[in-house]
Structure 1
Amino acid sequence: MSMKYTQTTLDKVEKIAEEMGYIVRYERGSFQSGFCILEEKKVVVLNKFLQLEGRINTMIDLLPQLKIDADALTPDSRKWYDDIMGKFHSSKDEENSDSSPA
């Protein structure tokens, strides 16, 4: 599945977090990475000034840091989650192979 930067994509990525009980909010603030996680309250706060592509990329970067039980996701969300995590792990593998000594 190729990632398209549309509102539908953002909705699907946000839905993964919401299915795990997280509330996704957009607020003003001085965010270093575009988001913060209030773990005790399961709230994800994203910088409201991010454009659509930035919101999608931030949510994708954020998913590995959330407590996600993939088995509890709906089939559609599970498919998206597996695809996102596959891309995340393959990009991390590339970073690690680039930094390994020759």
Structure 2
Amino acid sequence: MEQLFDEAKYIVRYEKGTFSSGYCILEHKKVVVINKFLNTEGRINALIEILPDIKLDEDSLSGEMQKWYAQLGQRQQGDDNGSVQSELNL
């Protein structure tokens, strides 16, 4: 997930904060701040939840990341609340 954000030119930081959603997006600076107290699955889910809210140029992604991003989009459309790791090829 972090590589996807990196290729999209976003910085992912894990910081202490009082974000009610577990994350904060600083759109103008292309920075995503995730609550550092979330467990690994919570961090992954927060990053997945952020994806529809950011402007991502799919053409700037590598071929592998484009495929993975498309897979994430399909999962979000289904929104079946399944485990992230069991549904994605991590």
Same fold, TM-score > 0.5, yes or no? yes
Q: Relative contact order: is structure 1 or structure 2 higher (C-alpha 8 Å, sep ≥ 6)? A: 1
**Which residue number in structure 2 is paired with residue 91 of structure 1?**
79
Determine which of 44, 61, 69 is the counterpart of 1:73. 61
Matched, 1:22 2:7: no
For the aligned residues, what is the CA RMSD? 1.3
**Which residue number in structure 1 is paired with residue 87 of structure 2?**
none
The share of aligned pairs that are identical, in percent, is: 50
Task: Structure 1: state its 5+ residue gaps.
Answer: 1-12, 93-102
Distance 1:87 1:74 in 2: 20
How many residue pairs end up in the alignment?
Answer: 80
Structure 1 length-normalised TM:
0.74
Q: Relative to total residues, which structure has the larger helix share, 1 or 2?
A: 1
Matched, 1:64 2:52: yes
Task: Structure 2: state its 5+ residue gaps.
Answer: 81-90
- Report the Cα offset of residue 90 of structure 1: 2.1
From the CA coordinates, give the structure whose radius of gyration is larger: 1
